A = this chain, B = another copy of it.
């Protein structure tokens, strides 16, 4: 087993951001081939150093047990050799993705002969702030490097040993490639101040991407002067209209709620048209029963369905991320739209109906990254849509909306070529 120098360099956050920025200038000029070769080296070295990573991961697990972490959190923290192999394979998939850098999005020549081209270029330096999932360290690094960006990683303190080990392996791997090691910076300090410093480092960091719970994301949005790409929180609704097909509705409800309850594109609230629910209440109750789904509902829901816990404001406003659901009973598509407008997080919203006009009203009026007619919200996902790996799902409107692939990590530059043109 190899040994590594600690990645804890005697550098402050600003120095690290500066090093990343300097490295980003070189990285931006590399060819796709050079970047791909480097990613493949990282993948190989990660596999080769699996034991080292797993040993370091154990330290985080021991610490987690001492602190009494939940099973779910321990599961997100825990690495196995299979998971490390998945990291490596994830990088190999990124190699297969098309490099967006250098793509000429449009080009034209002005009457005076000045040639204008809109070219995709890397953003520069990405600041990634995330919680206890060591896979983000590898995934985000792979996508950043492939798109020609340097990255400054600030992971959660719970995964500090795992993340530190992964980055030291990445650094070791990069030593033999064209990508400068400095293009990947890991902030080893676990204090919150270190993350706070990233928030305002506008001169050296081009974008911040927070990944984790709502509190983390809000903290970044509220305190950052560096532009932020907001990701992830999905308080998603399925509206089952009066004219919904029963089989489609039940399948979509089941899939959106139970397939993977903890992900952001899972459904959190079912909105039923009263007439439809009255007619199909037994089958809906049976669905809840089959999966042991805890139901929180409004008064109408309580009158129609069994075992309904009265819903509070929190039930409408927050994600469960578990086998629980909020149930709202309404009388028109307009009421459904109004409820979503009030409580939705602009992620993914679906209507189930056979009535084309109702569907159109819903698709047009609901303001969200993805709006669905007669399908599960679970398709809001880079790989499901065919984008390959994603850096996150944007719930904001500027720059990128919905699943963000490599192009979301680029900007454009106008390249003007002339022969002495003046205005």
Interface residues of A (CB under 8 A from B): 25, 28-29, 108, 110, 114, 116, 121, 123-124, 202, 206-207, 221-222, 225, 227-229, 245, 247-248, 251-252, 254-256, 259, 359, 363-365, 367-376, 378-380, 384-386, 396-399, 401-402, 411-423
A372-B418, A416-B373 are known contacts. Are A227 and B396 too (CB-CB below 8 A)? yes
- Provide the residues of chain B in CB contact with A202, threshold 8 Å: 221
Say how far A127's CB is from chain B's closest CB, in angstroms: 13
A414–B369 touching, CB < 8 Å:
yes
Say how far A355's CB is from chain B's closest CB, in angstroms: 14
Cα A423 to Cα B222 in complex, Å, equals 35
A-B contact pairs, 16 of them (CB 8 A): A25-B365, A28-B364, A206-B398, A221-B225, A227-B397, A248-B419, A248-B420, A371-B413, A372-B418, A373-B416, A374-B420, A374-B421, A385-B414, A398-B411, A401-B411, A401-B412
- Provide the residues of chain B in CB contact with A110, threshold 8 Å: 379, 384-386
By secondary structure, the A interface counts as mixed
A245-B420, A385-B116, A422-B378 are known contacts. Are A371 and B414 too (CB-CB below 8 A)? yes
Cα A197 to Cα B412 in complex, Å, equals 32
Residue among B124, B222, B369, B372 making CB contact with A397, cutoff 8 Å: B124
A207-B397, A225-B222 are known contacts. Are A251 and B373 too (CB-CB below 8 A)? no
A221-B225, A386-B110, A398-B398 are known contacts. Are A420 and B207 too (CB-CB below 8 A)? no
